[in-house]
Structure 1
Amino acid sequence: MIHEDILNYNNSKSQNDKAICDKLLEIIQKQLPHFENKVWHAHPVWFDDGNPIVGYNKLKNGIRLLFWSGASFEEDQLNLGTGKFKDASKTYTTVDELNVSDIERWLQKSKEIQWDYKNIVKRKGVLERLK
């Protein structure tokens, strides 16, 4: 079930950005239908047992699809995050740029490859691999 706050988030965007967000929502929900989802830190995020795995947000230059453990996916199309975290992302400026098969593959990897962000505060910023 899609959290109402995510629908409100998408509906608050410009027509172009809303089209991207709606398509990302459709793809993510199809691949992760039973995962918890909500607006977290002001943007839509999906969780596996309380651990954030994928989300999207509005940036100045487009809509960013973010995978918390994406740096471990070994996917050239994803841009690696900076710093000590294991995130990676892809930014879209039009809905036509979305490659559904790539996103579905990354979503599958997000279920199989995870770093423990849920307990990062307890571990004083140290990430441990879950899967």
Structure 2
Amino acid sequence: MASIPVSTYVAGLAEPLREVGERLVEILDAGLVGREGVMWHGHPVWMDGKTPVAGFKAYSSYVTLMLWQGQRIEDPTGRLAAAGSAQMASTKIATVDDLEADTVLSWLHAVDALPAA
């Protein structure tokens, strides 16, 4: 069975989460140049080869933005929280008003600049 496109996943979200998902796709595409979002374990993830870098997953009232190496970067905002296993960090976003594009881009650039773990 073929995986659905990221755009189909986002289009299937109810508002206001659809708007959050659409904006996150734009930000992740801009911040992770040369990588494309793919569906991985049921949600959109931007990969570096076979290694996940960032992605998001929608829940009933928010979208979780995940950075697989997020615990390894500086976060002066305090919005990133340790999540899952390894070095993952995440933040919850309920509306686009909660989504600070410049902050997310700074996290993406910081993660992208990390030496291999």
- Note whether the superposition's TM-score is higher than 0.5: yes
Q: CA offsets, 1:32-76, max 9 Å, x none?
A: 231132000000000112210000001244100000010111312
Moved runs in structure 1, 4+ residues, more than 6 A? none
Give the match's secondary structure for 2:5. helix
Contact 1:79 1:88 in 2 (8 A): yes
Q: CA deviation at 1:4?
A: 6.5
Which residue pairs with 1:98 in the alignment?
99
Q: Mark the CA change 1:61 to 1:16 in structure 2 (over 3 Å): closer, same or farther.
A: closer
The runs of 5 or more residues in structure 1 that have no matched partner are: 115-129
**Residue number in structure 2 paired with 1:28:** 28
TM-score (norm 2): 0.87
Greater RCO, 1 or 2 (C-alpha within 8 Å, sep 6+): 2
After TM superposition, the score normalised by the length of structure 1 is 0.79
Percent identity, aligned pairs only, is 25
1-side partners of 2:59 and 2:68: how far apart?
17
Alignment of 1:42-57 (within 5 A): 42-57=42-57
Contact 1:43 1:57 survives alignment (8 Å): yes
CA distance in 1, matches of 2:62, 2:37: 22
Aligned partner of 2:97: which letter? D
SS of equivalent to 1:15: coil
Q: What does residue 18 of structure 1 align with? A: 18
Number of matched pairs: 113
1:108 aligns with 2:115: no
Give SS of 1:89's match: strand
Q: Tell me the amino acid that sits aligned with residue 98 of structure 1.
A: L
Tell me, in whole angstroms, the C-alpha distance in 2 between the residues paired with 1:92 and 1:39: 20
